[in-house]
Amino acid sequence: MTTMAIQGIRGGCGSTSVTASLAWSLAQAGQSVLVLDFSRENLLRLYFDMPYDNKHGWMINSSQDKQHNGVINYADNLDYLPFGLLDEETIEMCVSELLSQIKDRGLKYPEKLSGLFSERYQWILLDLPSTRCPLINLGQLLADIHLCILNPDVACDVLLQQRILPNDSYFLLNRFSPTSLIQQDIHHVWQQCLVGLIPMVIHADEAMSESLAVKKPVGQYQPESLIAVEFNRLVQWCLSFEHGNED
């Protein structure tokens, strides 16, 4: 089992859409996948056709002291768990308790999540928020791989120099437009100096925006689109990484 935390260097980089799309492509490649939303915005669920007004989520289960039996099956090999809709005070209290179980009691996984981290899944993907909060700390503690999502713009470049990221982070360039000179320049700079940059890009594609409107992962919505093909390539990188760890 490999746990990957996916996080944008800032808000709006597309980490949630990348998480949903990668999960679908991994499942289509025969990998068993669980996707967990670690963001209080609770948007990941919308890529899996969950009703807007459904408040279900793993954080609600945690706050109510229930076992984690709320996993939702979306397709063959693909399960997901939304974050849930809760008030800020309750969220902070629950996250603090989960962190203390790891840091103070030495548990590998918090009690309320331990049942999910099992050999039932080959991949667990965590959609982390971009803004600094305890949820990020929790997700990073649980992850084997940290994948940072970048847009080819100056703001992301500045944040790369300012942020302290987990050791051995990997970086994925998202929403790349090959006709933009500034994006080409930034990409070239990162290719030269950014250790961990994955040697492929996800191009800007209208199919991704449309996929949220129809509440499906882009690979399900338009499997022949350029961006769906690129996520299939990203799956190959993920599998190579996994196999490399097994050697």
Q: Which residues contact 120 (CB under 8 A, 6 or more apart)?
A: 32, 34
- pLDDT tens digits, 210-220: 999 999 999 99
pTM metric for this prediction: 0.90
Q: Which residues contact 241 (CB under 8 A, 6 or more apart)?
A: 2, 145
Residue 60 sits at the vertex; the CA angle it makes with 58 and 62, to the nearest 5 degrees, is: 70
- pLDDT tens digits, 132-148: 777 888 888 889 999 99
- pLDDT tens digits, 126-183: 999 987 777 888 888 889 999 999 999 999 999 999 988 888 899 999 999 999 999 9
